[in-house]
Amino acid sequence: MPLYYQLAQQLEAAIERGRLAPGSLLGNEIELAGRLGLSRPTVRQAIQSLVDKGLLVRRRGVGTQVVHSQVKRPLELSSLYDDLEAAGQRPATRVLRHTVRPATAEVAAALGVAEGADVLLLERLRYAHDEPMAYLRNHLPAGLVDCASADLEATGLYRLMRAGGTTLHSARQSVGARRATGEEAVLLGEETGAPLLTMERVTFDDTGRAVEFGSHVYRASRYSFEFQLLVRP
């Protein structure tokens, strides 16, 4: 483990345990470096990573302070399955469709493949505590992941993609709302016309290639997106 990373973790732990009180000054960087036997750039790198996380604030001429509020995680590219599991919601998945078919114009444009090229279509119903939660439709370039329906019932798609060697890098998301169609209402146990949260997402790997196009609907009565934003300096 790099030294700056170890130091960042120690500081983060000290903040979380309240050993560094909110608003308290961290002590100046040079003295801190000397006390720890590190160089100042190394100490700065550790502090900077916590500033990026929103745990610390630096002010020139003043010092480095612990932020007052309890900052949670900023928005990440997260997996619904993992989020539900972390929240103790007993996630489960029913795979409704799992086939290869030619890309429509919309899917081809989103994934950056030729129209008519083979794409994997996944349709899944995601449950939490045995209640339907979301209806997930995903399109993936053919051959990217090699998974059985059984895998998809046991875990999330992102985890399968990572396990298959795909390095997820970024995603472009759009969140909106609309009324449920009759079919969606039946699947999700809502009334026709009930409000649904919609999320469209194109995910890219670290070479910039689109690796997934998702078009999902969530029961607005049981789901909302929560996230933390940081202001870019």
Q: Does 15 sit near DNA (CB under 7 A)?
A: no
Q: Does 68 sit near a copy of itself (CB under 8 A)?
A: yes
Instruction: Choose the stretch contacting DNA; rule: CB under 7 A; options: 25-33, 157-165, 172-180, 223-231.
Output: 25-33
Query: Which of a copy of itself, DNA, none binds 195 (CB below 5-8 Å, type-dependent)?
Result: a copy of itself
Closer residue to DNA in complex, CB, 37/88:
37
Whole-number Å distance between alpha carbons of 58 and 40: 15
For residue 39, give Cα distances in angstroms to 2, 3, 44, 104, 119. 13, 10, 9, 56, 52
Q: At what angle do helices 29-36 and 40-53 cross, to 10 degrees?
A: 120
Q: Between 38 and 77, how does the x/- string for binding to DNA read (CB under 7 A)?
A: xxxxx-xx------------xxxxxxx-------------
CB of 103 to DNA, least distance (A): 29
Q: Which of 21, 22, 23, 28 binds DNA (CB under 7 A)?
A: 28
Q: Does 29 sit near DNA (CB under 7 A)?
A: yes
The vertex-42 CA angle with 228 and 6, nearest 5°, equals 65
Within 13 Å and on the Cβ side, how many CA atoms surround 96?
13
Q: Which of 139, 190, 197, 215 binds a copy of itself (CB under 8 A)?
A: 197
Residue 28 is encoded by which pair of tokens? Answer: 């100046």
Q: Which of 6, 173, 181, 192 binds a copy of itself (CB under 8 A)?
A: 173
Tell how strand 195-205 and strand 210-219 pair up.
antiparallel
Residues of this chain that bind DNA (CB under 7 A): 2-5, 26-31, 37-42, 44-45, 58-64
